[in-house]
Structure 1
């Protein structure tokens, strides 16, 4: 409905919910809860049993093919309802960019609430950034909350801190992770937890001699590339001066060369050199379409890192960067406050977010 404006300063952290509060569950991208009810309903139960929250569904939450206007109406209703204290995306998708023109920024500014989502929800998180509201990158209902067997303890701890606390929270590497999916239409999938395998620790590039601190901005790289192409929700380069960039890639497994090209375009636009640090998520390296074996997965992640470093060498050679951070399409997953304060302490090898 309206063009992005420079966000007000300082950016607001919305009021936090409390156990017993009602929270909205909406599908601003895809209505997959209607096709795969098992992980979705498991996620709803866990919002109640593990976090003490009361989930509230909306008309398009389980509707495949809902129009952009219908999805925007659900979001408006969730933010405008005074009894709703937070908003969760059910899952991602690939066309949330079509919803943005239907959104009313003034309505959401008047009723700020924590929004949780990632992947295609990067579009909405960037939109909230331009409304001056901190969102939360992570914790979809179907994936993280609907995880087979049990919530991962690291994911649960991070989400609980993001939901209910307001202070600093140190992110830590898990030592083991998983990115192999199992079919949601098979009941056997939900009988046991995913099998984790040892994973590399976070890797630091040019950690520098002092810590840096700034507001977090970024999200899923593929979605950011669409926003750049459509000229949506991406401000002038100076709007991101001193911010901490965080990026991750999806189960579509973009080729390393494509990752480089997107970052090259961000560099040519003058964006990359504005950021004080980069957090690069542990690359998803398995999908049903490309079920990579262990050696091929290692090679894929290595090639993606090399592509990112090539772009940094060209456009932001002194920028500190941390690779394989457990954000985005990872298990476990750490929640990143989108617009919230992130401190990257290279000398101490520590990352702290403020929820």
Structure 2
């Protein structure tokens, strides 16, 4: 693969596109969305520009793709940011204008279902950014998390190396977005367990590839934006799971099937996010959340042991569906220094 392109970053006063490539939740849940827009203006100095489907629930894949094509084509737009994720972005990809987007590269920020777009852009040779949605990170109740803000600011407005570090306190429990009382105080946080290192005896530097594990499974099933496995040799895999909270068995089976495809062994290092272990459908207490995260780590280790036993792995890294959230570059460099227990990304 050719050297990835790092699109120029916006500056304070620039316009940025706010899009909903997966779902029009801003129209149904305006409180975190409006708060996120205000913080983009006030904290980052950027001018958010909404597109026709940003707040529209039920837009077609073709309509959402039209917004994306327009955002990349507009010379006044300096970055593209997803409002939130969803579950059908894979149906949007066929309607995107590859040559238009390749000719007008811009930084894109999103995660979860936006894994589709991250890997679409990566295959065009464009570095994109896993993290930083408007409704979740920017619309966080009470206040922006300072660690999230620092990482997002570095990725969105800056460039160069950025060292990740484990957070002392993390959050997992949500409150309903429908009620104004939710936004009067910050989410509940609890002491973090730190990062867990496995095979930490080497230094690996490679371009980042990955995203939400459930979305990757769908993309693999549809053979959408997946390159021949040999093209991933030497890269750094990053994986996270969503608020749907897949069980340890499902996590193992997805990774087993990636192993059977010959994919897992291509990556000399893998970063695994701190698993989202609470949802409104599964409101686990603290011991159950810890057990869920432990079972997921063990499932990943089982698959690695069978298909990539030499791979260095770091668990409970603060990215994905986590609070705080650190931004990872998809297609940009990630350095995993096992002996020093350090992770450095290049924005």
User: Is residue 69 from structure 1 mapped to residue 72 from structure 2 by the alignment?
Assistant: no
Aligned to 1:244: 236
| 1:25 aligns to 2:30 (yes or no) | no
Q: Deviations over 1:291-347 (max 9, x none)?
A: 001111111111111100000000000100000000000000000011100000000
Verify: 1:81 aligned to 2:71, yes or no. Answer: no
- Alpha-carbon distance, 1:199 to partner: 1.0
Q: Match for residue 307 of structure 1?
A: 299
Counterpart check, 1:316 vs 2:305: no
Aligned to 2:135: 142
SS in 2 for 1:267: helix
Match of 1:113 among 106, 109, 116: 106
CA contact (8 A) 2:199 2:312 kept: yes
User: What's the CA shift for 1:27?
Assistant: 0.2
Equivalent residue number for residue 181 of structure 2: 188
Distance 2:234 2:42 in 1: 40
What do residues 130-161 of structure 1 show as CA deviations (whole Å, max 9, x unaligned)? 11100000000000000001100000000000
Structure 1 residue 276: Cα displacement = 1.6
Paired residue secondary structure (2:316): strand
Cα deviation 1:235-260 (Å, max 9, x = unaligned)? 11111110000000000000100000
Cα distance in 1 between the residues matched to 2:297 and 2:229: 24
CA–CA distance in 2 between the matches of 1:325 and 1:245?
A: 13
The TM-score, its normalising length taken from structure 1, stands at: 0.97
Candidates 232, 248, 254, aligned match of 2:246: 254
Tell me, in whole angstroms, the C-alpha distance in 1 between the residues paired with 2:173 and 2:95: 36
Aligned alpha-carbon RMSD (Å): 0.6
1-structure distance, mates of 2:300, 2:113: 21
Q: Deviations over 1:166-225 (max 9, x none)?
A: 1100001111100111100011000001111001110100001x3110000000000000
Structure 1: segments with no counterpart, 5+ residues: 1-6
1:165 to partner: Cα distance: 1.6
Distance (Å, rounded) in 2 between the aligned partners of 1:276 and 1:334: 21
Residue deviations 1:14-72 (CA, integer Å, cap 9, x gap): 11110110000000001000000000000000000000000000000000000000000
Aligned residues: 347
Asked if structure 1 preserves the Cα contact closer than 8 Å seen for 2:175 and 2:182, the reply is yes
Q: Distance in 2 between matches of 1:276 and 1:318?
A: 7
Looking at structure 2, the residues matched to 88 and 165 of structure 1 have their Cα atoms a distance apart, in angstroms, of 16
For residues 279 and 156 of structure 2, what CA distance do their matches in structure 1 show? 30
Structure 2: state its 5+ residue gaps. Answer: none
1:3 alignment partner in structure 2: none
1:206 to 191, 199, 215: 199
Partners of 2:158 and 2:178 in 1: CA distance: 36
Distance in 2 (alpha carbons) for counterparts of 1:146 and 1:235:
35
**2:322 matches 1:336:** no
TM-score (norm: length of structure 2): 0.99
* CA distance in structure 2 between the partners assigned to 1:295 and 1:172 by the alignment: 25
**Is 1:35 matched with 2:24?**
no
Displacement of 1:163 after TM fit?
1.1
Runs of 4+ in 1 over 2 A off after TM superposition: none
**Alpha-carbon separation, structure 1, partners of 2:156 and 2:237:** 22
Structure-2 separation of matches of 1:309 and 1:182? 32
Counterpart of 1:4? Answer: none
